[in-house]
């Protein structure tokens, strides 16, 4: 049986493991808390991250196994490796285990970056963080792909039809990842891309857009206002992407429009819910505590604002969300400032 390893036993990492299992892989999930690993293995479901989604079984055998022991997870020389740890922990996770990570990447066919966000302090995207953490750019370029798109963990785990983008700097590698991650029945469908920057920027900034959209919803402003906020967010994603070397039209992908439409319009989105609660007067600490998983949009917002300033860009929506998170403005004041802009973004800029 084909082997795969997922680093990060949260909801999304677990859901990706379900997707791999559907495609014939036996999957080991690394999670730092052994007690939670034991509970998950005993119950046959991820009680701490994706409760109620029973581990799939194929041929009478359970396809998923949790462990906090790294060697247990990688000793089977997995051909697919997925990094699904929180973005702000990715660098330390890899650096602390650099030798074993390098050996694992060398033997794997693909290494999938599923972390979403921008690193605080450095304003760097996950692909670059992995290159620096591994210390071998050539090895990362030969293995690493980025996955993003409208992929709610719960629906992945329920095997509902899902499409996503897989991007690599090399077209052949992107196609290999597309083949390994897609299912023959089309239930999980990957689309190959070589625009790594656009995919990563969209995957990160869409969480900030979702917080803004949640604020609009929480204030009862309606669907018209939410659509306007989403449109502004897509423009800012495209602007950052183009400035960093991506394609301006890269936003027109599953990782761009697809993911933004989902994340910024559904109460199943953690970031959308954080925005709603902020608009309803809940403070940020309490709003984050109410989520049983990381809301990546919160740390990413600061990082993208820092990045925009470094690049000399005007990102009014991201700046507005940041002002709310920093308690400099109320959601009402921040969104009013956006509505007061003298000009709207031009599609041909």
Instruction: Break the chain into its structural domains and give their ranges.
Output: 2-194, 197-339
Cβ 96 vs Cβ 87: under 8 Å? no
Which tens digits make up the pLDDT trace of 46-102? Answer: 999 999 999 998 878 899 999 999 999 998 889 999 999 999 999 999 999 999 999
Closest Cα to residue 258, out of 325, 332, 322, 189?
A: 189
What pTM does this model have? 0.93
Q: How many CA atoms lie within 13 A of 62 on its CB side?
A: 13
Do 2-194 and 197-339 have matching folds?
no
Residue 294 has pLDDT above 80, yes or no: no
Average pLDDT (182-203) is 96
Query: Which residues are known to be catalytic?
Result: 206
User: Higher pLDDT residue, 295 or 95?
Assistant: 95
In the block, tokens 């660098």 appear at: 91
Is 116 known as a binding-site position? yes
Query: How would residue 341 be classed by pLDDT, with cut points 50, 70 and 90?
Result: low
Give the model's pLDDT for residue 260: 97
Residue 344 has pLDDT above 80, yes or no: no
Give the model's pLDDT for residue 315: 95
d(CA 88, CA 128): 13
Average pLDDT (271-279) is 95
Query: How would residue 348 be classed by pLDDT, with cut points 50, 70 and 90?
Result: very low
Give the model's pLDDT for residue 291: 60
Domain made up of 197-339: CATH architecture = Orthogonal Bundle (1.10)
Extract the runs of DSSP E, i.e. beta strands, from 245-334: none
Give the model's pLDDT for residue 264: 96
d(CA 234, CA 240): 10
Average pLDDT (321-346) is 81
Average pLDDT (144-148) is 98
Fold of 2-194: Rossmann fold (3.40.50)
In the DSSP assignment, the letter for residue 54 is B
Is 8 known as a binding-site position? yes
Average pLDDT (29-48) is 97
Average pLDDT, the chain: 93
Residue 9 has pLDDT above 50, yes or no: yes
Average pLDDT (223-232) is 95
Which tens digits make up the pLDDT trace of 117-135? Answer: 999 999 999 999 999 999 9
Give the model's pLDDT for residue 188: 96
Is 153 known as a binding-site position? yes
Is 13 known as a binding-site position? yes
Is 12 known as a binding-site position? yes
In the DSSP assignment, the letter for residue 249 is G
Is 271 known as a binding-site position? yes
Give the model's pLDDT for residue 316: 95
Query: How would residue 337 be classed by pLDDT, with cut points 50, 70 and 90?
Result: confident
Tokens of 101: 């990570």
d(CA 162, CA 156): 7
In the DSSP assignment, the letter for residue 250 is G
| Helical (H) or strand (E) element with 47 | none
Give the model's pLDDT for residue 60: 80
Average pLDDT (304-310) is 96
Instruction: Please give the full DSSP string across 66-96, using - where no structure is assigned.
Output: EES-HHHHHTT--SEEEE-S-GGGHHHHHHT
Query: How would residue 290 be classed by pLDDT, with cut points 50, 70 and 90?
Result: low
């Amino acid at each position: 049986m084909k082997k795969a390893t997922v680093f990060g036993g949260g909801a999304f990492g677990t859901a990706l493991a379900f997707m791999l299992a559907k495609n014939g892989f036996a999957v080991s999930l690394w999670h730092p808390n052994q007690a939670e690993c034991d509970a998950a293995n005993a119950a046959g479901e991820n009680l701490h991250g994706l409760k109620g989604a029973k581990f799939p079984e194929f041929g009478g055998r359970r396809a998923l196994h949790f462990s906090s022991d790294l060697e247990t997870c990688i000793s089977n020389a997995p051909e697919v490796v997925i990094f699904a740890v929180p973005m702000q922990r990715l660098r330390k996770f890899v650096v602390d285990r650099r030798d074993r990570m390098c050996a694992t990447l060398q033997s794997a066919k693909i290494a999938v970056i599923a972390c979403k966000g921008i690193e605080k302090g450095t304003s760097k995207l996950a692909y670059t963080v992995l290159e620096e953490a591994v210390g071998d750019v050539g090895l990362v370029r030969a293995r690493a792909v980025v996955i993003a798109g409208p992929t709610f963990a719960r629906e992945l785990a329920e095997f509902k039809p899902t499409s996503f983008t897989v991007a690599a700097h090399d077209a052949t590698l992107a196609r290999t990842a597309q083949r390994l991650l897609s299912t023959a029945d089309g239930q999980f469908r990957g689309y190959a891309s070589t625009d790594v920057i656009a995919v990563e920027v969209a995957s990160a900034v869409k969480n900030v857009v979702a917080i803004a959209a949640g604020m609009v919803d929480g204030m009862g402003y309606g669907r018209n206002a939410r659509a306007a906020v989403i449109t502004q967010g897509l423009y800012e994603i495209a602007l950052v992407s183009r400035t960093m070397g991506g394609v301006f039209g890269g936003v027109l992908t599953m990782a761009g429009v697809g993911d933004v439409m989902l994340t910024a319009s559904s109460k199943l989105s953690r970031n959308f819910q954080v925005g709603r609660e902020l608009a309803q007067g809940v403070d940020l600490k309490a709003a984050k505590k109410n989520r049983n998983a990381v809301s990546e949009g919160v740390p990413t917002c600061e990082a993208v604002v820092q990045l925009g300033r470094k690049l000399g860009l005007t990102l009014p929506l991201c700046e507005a969300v940041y002002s709310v998170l920093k308690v400099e403005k109320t959601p009402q004041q921040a969104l009013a400032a956006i509505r007061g802009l003298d000009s709207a973004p031009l599609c041909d800029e």
